[in-house]
Amino acid sequence: MGKGIWVYAEHKDGKIKKVTYEMLGVARQLADQLAEEVAAVIIGKEVGELASALGEYGADKVYVLENDALAEYTTDGYTRALARLALEHQPTAIFLGCTVQGRDLAAQVAQRLQAGLCTDCTKVELQDGQITLTRPIYAGKAFVQAISPEARPVMATIRPNVLPVPQPQGGRAAEVVQVDVEPGDIRQVIKEVVRQVSTRPELTEADIIVSGGRGMKSAENFRILEELADVLGAAVGASRAAVDAGYAPHSMQVGQTGKTVSPQLYIACGISGAIQHLAGMGSSKVIVAINKDPEANIFKVADYGIVGDLFEVVPLLTREFRKLLGKEKEC
């Protein structure tokens, strides 16, 4: 058996992030073809109880790295922990989610291991016995394939929501390996963690996103998008133009300089379709565009388009979805 396909198990608020399960699915496929094991690596404080779920989604082994100093993510602490473990076991591949944390950690660990790093991958497969990674370039206009015949480990960050979540196998258990870890000197000091309380899903992991652009005209007008999002169980996003205009915070920005998303359904309201925005949401499974300009660029990528005033169309959609989903407001 080879040295293993590793998945970094990112977690937040006591829950494993969805992209971890997506990566475990493709890791399981690769491992079966290469006759290797799948290992998940989870780092933090009191995170051992999360290991059981990782086994059900395909992990053969779970390395649990716990220390009080690792309670909150820091670049120094997590890099040192993951890099040392990888140097000791020499895995064939290490996959991390293309999230804020995953991008930061992957680059640091790759440097420590003197390994290459393929970022924002949308496909992972085995071709002629080699792990082949596919990633978009030129704002999604083209795709390249990366192969590392000799370099080990193969390192990549995987875009959330582009790979299917495998069906969990209830009762399937992974071997849990507790690893003693000394985080050493950590230069970053976490003074305070301010958590935003929201009932909506996280933008990068949402199956449905309702986004607004400059056509929203004000921050107050985003309320109509929030109403629709709450009916659909969706996240709310924004274009760079809307963020620059002060209509929405940067944490909601979708695009080349914001977050990359791949939901099942993306509803673009008052968004013109600048190439920078398309780069962040172009891989959405179904795109619905609402814009009063019939020549708007967003219609070129949309699966369905509505030419009309979003301030009339969106409330109508909200009312109809309430009826269809049985969520009509009580009088």
83: CATH? 3.40.50.620
Q: Is 188 annotated as a binding residue?
A: no
| Collapsed DSSP state (helix, strand, coil) of residue 25 | helix
pLDDT on residue 331:
41
Q: Give the phi and the psi of residue 208 in degrees, each rounded to 5.
A: -130, 135
Helix (H) or strand (E) holding 58: none
Is 100 part of any domain? yes
Q: Which domain holds residue 294?
A: 203-325
Asked if the structure places residue 102 within a domain, the reply is yes
Work out the pLDDT band at 139, boundaries 50, 70, 90: confident
pLDDT of 190 reads 82
Task: Please tell me which residue, 129 or 304, carries the higher pLDDT value.
Answer: 304
The verdict on whether residue 255 carries a ligand-binding annotation is: yes
- H or E element, residue 297: none
Do residues 310 and 292 make contact, with C-beta atoms less than 8 angstroms apart?
Answer: yes
Query: Does 277 show up as a binding residue in the annotation?
Result: yes
Query: Hey, what's the torsion of the CAs at 156, 160, 163, 164, to 10 degrees?
Result: 140
131 in a known ligand binding site:
no
Q: How confident is the model at residue 189 (pLDDT cuts 50, 70, 90)?
A: confident
172 a known binding residue? no
Residue with tokens 């404080």: 45
Q: What is the pLDDT of residues 258-286, one digit of tens each?
A: 898 999 999 999 999 999 899 899 889 99
DSSP lists the bridge partners of residue 175 as 61
CA distance 16 to 13: 9
Same domain, 175 and 215: no
- Helical residues (DSSP H) of the chain, grouped into ranges: 18-34, 51-56, 75-89, 100-113, 222-232, 240-244, 275-281, 310-325
Report yes or no on 11 lying in a domain: yes
Q: How confident is the model at residue 294 (pLDDT cuts 50, 70, 90)?
A: very high
Q: Are residues 133 and 232 in the same domain?
A: no
Residue that is last in its domain, among 163, 179, 195: 179
Convert the pLDDT of each residue in 41-60 to its tens digit.
Answer: 999 999 988 988 899 999 99
271 is in an annotated binding site: yes
Instruction: Name the nearest CA neighbour of 86 among 100, 96, 99.
Output: 96
Asked if residue 217 and residue 166 are part of one domain, the reply reads no
Residues 219 and 141 in one domain: no
Task: At 91, give phi and psi (nearest 5°).
Answer: -70, 160
Is the pLDDT reported for residue 1 higher than 60? Answer: no
Same-domain check for residues 55 and 112: yes
On whether 284 is known to bind a ligand per the annotation, the reply is no
Question: Is residue 156 located within the same domain as residue 297?
Answer: no
- 270 assigned ligand-binding residue: yes
Mean pLDDT of all residues in the chain? 92
Would you say 254 is a known binding-site residue? yes
User: Can you tell me the mean pLDDT for 114-119?
Assistant: 93
Helix, strand or coil, per DSSP, at residue 37: coil
Average pLDDT over residues 246-258: 92
Query: CB under 8 Å to 137, separation ≥6 — which residues?
Result: 143, 144
Checking if the pLDDT of 67 tops 70, the result is yes
Same domain, 144 and 210: no
Which element (helix H / strand E) includes 210?
A: strand 208-212
Domain boundary among 124, 145, 179: 179
CA distance 292 to 216: 12
Half-sphere exposure of 186 (CA within 13 A, CB side): 20
C-alpha 181/C-alpha 167 separation (Å) is 32
280 annotated to bind ligand? no
Q: Same structural domain for residues 16 and 142?
A: yes
pLDDT, position 238: 97
> Domain for residue 187, yes or no?
no
- Evaluate if residue 330 carries a pLDDT over 60: no
Q: Is 276 annotated as a binding residue?
A: yes
pLDDT at 61 over 80: yes
- Does 283 count as an annotated binding residue? no
| Residue 52 CA, distance from chain mean position | 22
Binning pLDDT at 50, 70 and 90, where does residue 103 land? Answer: very high
Q: Count how many domains the chain has.
A: 2
Average pLDDT over residues 122-127: 93
Decide if 89 is inside a domain: yes
The pair of structure tokens assigned to 240 is: 């760079």
Torsion of CA 272, 144, 121, 275, to 10 degrees: -10
Last residue of a domain, one of 179, 211, 230: 179
Residue 214 assigned as binding residue: yes
One domain, residues 48 and 142: yes
Contacts of 89 (CB under 8 A, 6+ apart): 3, 4
Residues 171 and 231 in one domain: no
The answer to whether residue 179 scores a pLDDT higher than 70 is yes
pLDDT tens-digit series, residues 11-31:
988 899 999 999 999 999 999
pLDDT at 329 over 70: no
Residues 153 and 236 in one domain: no
What pLDDT score does 328 carry?
72
Element (H, E) at 291: strand 286-291
Residue whose token pair is 């985080």? 183
Does some domain include residue 330?
A: no
223: CATH: 3.40.50.1220
162 and 209 share one domain: no
Q: In this predicted structure, what is the pLDDT of residue 34?
A: 92
pLDDT beyond 90 at 193: no
Contact 54, 42 (CB under 8 A): yes
